[in-house]
Amino acid sequence: MSKRALSAGRQLSRSAAAVLAASALAWLAGPPPLSAAAAPTESPGTLPPEAETGWVMRTLHRMTLEEKVGQLFTTRVYGETADTTDPASVQMNRSFLGVDNAAQAVARYHLGGFVYFAYAGNTNSPQQVAGLSNGIQQVAVAQPSGVPLLLSTDQEQGAVVRLGPPATQFPGNMALGAGRSVDDAGTAARITGQELRAVGINQDLAPVADVNVNPANPVIGVRSFGEDPSIAADMVAAQVTNYQAAGVAATVKHFPGHGDTAVDSHSGLPVIAHSRAELDRIDLPPFRAAIARGADAIMTAHIVVPALDPSGDPATLSHPILTGLLRQELGYDGVVVTDSLGMAGVRQKYGDARVPVLALRAGVDILVNPPVMQVAYDAVREAVRNGELTEQRIDESVTRILRLKWRRGVVAAPFVDPAAVSRTVGTPDHLAVAQAISDRTTTLLRTDAALPIPAGHRILVTGWDDPAAPTTTQALGAALGRHGVTPDVLSTGANPTAARIDAAVAAARQHDTTVVLTNRATGDAGQQRLVKAVAAARVPLVVIAVRDPYDVTMFPDVPAYLATYAFNGVAMDSLAGVLTGAIPPAGRLPVAIPDPGRPGAALFPFGAGLSTF
Question: Per residue in 535-572, pLDDT tens?
Answer: 999 999 999 999 999 999 999 999 999 999 999 999 99
The domain of 77 spans 3-423
pLDDT of 297 > 90? The answer is: yes
490, β-bridge pairs = 462
Q: Which amino acid is at 228?
A: D
| pLDDT, position 345 | 85
List, for residues 64-76, the tens digit of each pLDDT value: 999 999 999 999 9
List, for residues 84-120, the tens digit of each pLDDT value: 999 999 999 999 999 999 999 999 999 999 999 999 9
Compute the distance between CA of residue 99 and CA of residue 81 in angstroms, rounded to an integer. 14
Q: Within a 10 A sphere around the Cβ of 85, how many other Cβ atoms? A: 10
Question: Do 407 and 521 sit in the same domain of this protein?
Answer: no
pLDDT of 578 > 80? The answer is: yes
Residue closest to 98 by CA, chosen among 88, 109, 87? 109
Question: Do 356 and 465 sit in the same domain of this protein?
Answer: no
Residue closest to 407 by CA, chosen among 21, 45, 30? 45
| pLDDT, position 391 | 97
Compute the distance between CA of residue 146 and CA of residue 137 in angstroms, rounded to an integer. 10
pLDDT of 12 > 70? The answer is: no
From the candidates 100, 228, 283, 339, give the one annotated as an active-site residue.
339
List, for residues 435-467, the tens digit of each pLDDT value: 999 999 999 999 987 799 988 889 999 999 987
Pinpoint the alpha helices (H) of 27-73.
Answer: 49-62, 65-71
Question: Do 273 and 379 sit in the same domain of this protein?
Answer: yes
Q: Within a 10 A sphere around the Cβ of 382, how many other Cβ atoms? A: 14
CB under 8 Å to 504, separation ≥6 — which residues? Answer: 460, 462, 463, 490, 492, 496, 514, 516, 530, 533, 534
Residue 430 belongs to a domain: no
Cβ–Cβ under 8 Å, residues 53 and 372: no
Question: Do 109 and 178 sit in the same domain of this protein?
Answer: yes
Compute the distance between CA of residue 151 and CA of residue 44 in angstroms, rounded to an integer. 16
DSSP 427-444: -HHHHHHHHHHHTTT-EE
Cβ–Cβ under 8 Å, residues 586 and 611: yes
Compute the distance between CA of residue 47 and CA of residue 322 in angstroms, rounded to an integer. 31
**What is residue 357's DSSP assignment?**
H
For β-strands 150-153 and 113-116, DSSP reports them as parallel
CA distances from 134 to 9, 153, 234, 335 (A): 7, 16, 35, 24
Cβ–Cβ under 8 Å, residues 301 and 258: yes
CB under 8 Å to 495, separation ≥6 — which residues? Answer: 524, 525, 526, 527
CA distances from 564 to 221, 315, 472, 502 (A): 13, 33, 12, 26
> Using CB atoms within 10 A of its CB, is residue 28 exposed (0-12), middle (13-18) or buried (19+)?
exposed
Compute the distance between CA of residue 257 and CA of residue 209 in angstroms, rounded to an integer. 7
**What is residue 307's DSSP assignment?**
T
Question: Do 513 and 376 sit in the same domain of this protein?
Answer: no
Question: Do 554 and 475 sit in the same domain of this protein?
Answer: yes
**What is residue 33's DSSP assignment?**
P
CA distances from 273 to 157, 259, 266, 339, 587 (A): 29, 11, 19, 21, 31
Which pLDDT band, with edges at 50, 70 and 90, does 411 fall under? very high
**What is residue 167's DSSP assignment?**
S
Cβ–Cβ under 8 Å, residues 179 and 437: yes
Question: Do 208 and 317 sit in the same domain of this protein?
Answer: yes
Compute the distance between CA of residue 324 and CA of residue 331 in angstroms, rounded to an integer. 10
Compute the distance between CA of residue 443 and CA of residue 587 in angstroms, rounded to an integer. 4
CA distances from 182 to 58, 188, 252 (A): 41, 10, 17
204, β-bridge pairs = 153, 250
Residue 431 belongs to a domain: no
| pLDDT, position 267 | 81
Compute the distance between CA of residue 207 and CA of residue 209 in angstroms, rounded to an integer. 6
- Domain harbouring 410, CATH code: 3.20.20.300
Q: How many domains does the chain have?
A: 2
Compute the distance between CA of residue 79 and CA of residue 102 in angstroms, rounded to an integer. 8
List, for residues 244-254, the tens digit of each pLDDT value: 999 999 999 99
Compute the distance between CA of residue 470 and CA of residue 455 in angstroms, rounded to an integer. 26
Quick one: average pLDDT of 514-521?
Answer: 97
pLDDT of 224 > 60? The answer is: yes
| pTM recorded for the entire structure | 0.91
Cβ–Cβ under 8 Å, residues 191 and 241: no
Residue 221 belongs to a domain: yes
Quick one: average pLDDT of 188-211?
Answer: 98
Question: Do 251 and 208 sit in the same domain of this protein?
Answer: yes
Question: Do 19 and 108 sit in the same domain of this protein?
Answer: yes
Q: Respond yes or no: is residue 339 known to be catalytic.
A: yes
Cβ–Cβ under 8 Å, residues 222 and 175: yes
| pLDDT, position 214 | 96
| pLDDT, position 52 | 85
pLDDT of 157 > 90? The answer is: yes
Q: What is the Rg, in whole angstroms, of the alpha carbon atoms belonging to the chain?
A: 25
Residue 435 belongs to a domain: no
Question: Do 394 and 454 sit in the same domain of this protein?
Answer: no
Q: Respond yes or no: is residue 283 known to be catalytic.
A: no
DSSP 530-578: HHHHHHHTT--EEEEESS-GGGGGGSTT-S-EEE-S--SHHHHHHHHHH
Q: Within a 10 A sphere around the Cβ of 449, how many other Cβ atoms? A: 9
Backbone angles phi, psi at 203, to 5 degrees: -145, 125
Compute the distance between CA of residue 157 and CA of residue 210 in angstroms, rounded to an integer. 15
Residue 234 belongs to a domain: yes
C-alpha 561 chain-centroid distance: 28
Cβ–Cβ under 8 Å, residues 609 and 588: yes
List, for residues 304-349, the tens digit of each pLDDT value: 999 999 999 999 999 999 999 999 999 999 999 999 999 988 998 8
| pLDDT, position 47 | 52
Cβ–Cβ under 8 Å, residues 110 and 401: no
Domain boundary among 369, 394, 423: 423
Which pLDDT band, with edges at 50, 70 and 90, does 468 fall under? low
In this structure, the chain runs to a length of 613
Residue 187 belongs to a domain: yes
Domain boundary among 423, 450, 466: 423
From the candidates 83, 264, 266, 595, give the one annotated as an active-site residue.
266
Domain boundary among 379, 396, 423: 423
CA distances from 115 to 13, 109, 123, 135, 369 (A): 21, 15, 11, 15, 8
Question: Do 325 and 450 sit in the same domain of this protein?
Answer: no
List, for residues 500-510, the tens digit of each pLDDT value: 999 999 999 99
Q: Within a 10 A sphere around the Cβ of 349, how many other Cβ atoms? A: 16
Quick one: average pLDDT of 378-398?
Answer: 98
Question: Do 415 and 449 sit in the same domain of this protein?
Answer: no
Residue 610 belongs to a domain: no
| pLDDT, position 49 | 65
pLDDT of 48 > 80? The answer is: no
Residue 333 belongs to a domain: yes
> Using CB atoms within 10 A of its CB, is residue 101 exposed (0-12), middle (13-18) or buried (19+)?
buried
- Domain harbouring 557, CATH code: 3.40.50.1700
462, β-bridge pairs = 490, 516
| pLDDT, position 492 | 94
